[in-house]
């Protein structure tokens, strides 16, 4: 199981969620960089780069949910308790 292997190597749900949010920012950066780097390709090429990187966020969010579920089952999910 991939989720178990990720968990066993130390990857936690928080890591996957952080990667998802980072990939959203990277999507915008990739789109802007592609638009400026190759004016010949224009907006169409920049859109393709943005969409390519943009597809990472849902994958990371899905992994985060799967890892969170696994962490809940094995009791390693950390909780923040309010005082």
- 35/79: higher pLDDT: 35
Q: Does residue 24 belong to any structural domain of this protein?
A: yes
Q: Does residue 34 belong to any structural domain of this protein?
A: yes
Residues 1, 52: contact at Cβ < 8 Å? no
Q: Does residue 58 belong to any structural domain of this protein?
A: yes
3-class DSSP state of 77: coil
Which residues have a Cβ under 8 Å from the Cβ of 61 and sit 6 or more positions away?
A: 16, 17, 20
What is the total count of domains within the chain? 1
Residues 25, 19: contact at Cβ < 8 Å? no
Q: Does residue 8 belong to any structural domain of this protein?
A: no
* pLDDT band (50, 70, 90) for residue 81: very low
pTM for the predicted model, two decimal places: 0.75
- What is the rounded CA–CA span in Å between residue 45 and residue 49? 6
pLDDT at residue 29 above 90?
no
Q: Does residue 53 belong to any structural domain of this protein?
A: yes
- What is the rounded CA–CA span in Å between residue 54 and residue 23? 7
Which residues form the domain of 26? 14-74
Q: Does residue 18 belong to any structural domain of this protein?
A: yes
The proportion of the chain whose per-residue pLDDT surpasses 70, expressed as a percent, equals 84
């Amino acid at each position: 199981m991939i989720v178990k292997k990720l968990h066993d190597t130390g990857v936690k749900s928080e890591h996957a969620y952080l990667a998802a949010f980072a990939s959203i920012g990277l999507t915008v950066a990739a789109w802007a960089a592609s638009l400026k780097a190759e004016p010949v390709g224009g907006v169409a090429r920049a859109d393709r780069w943005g969409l390519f990187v943009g597809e990472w966020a849902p994958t990371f969010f899905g992994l985060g949910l799967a890892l969170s579920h696994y962490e809940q089952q094995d009791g390693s999910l950390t909780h923040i308790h309010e005082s």
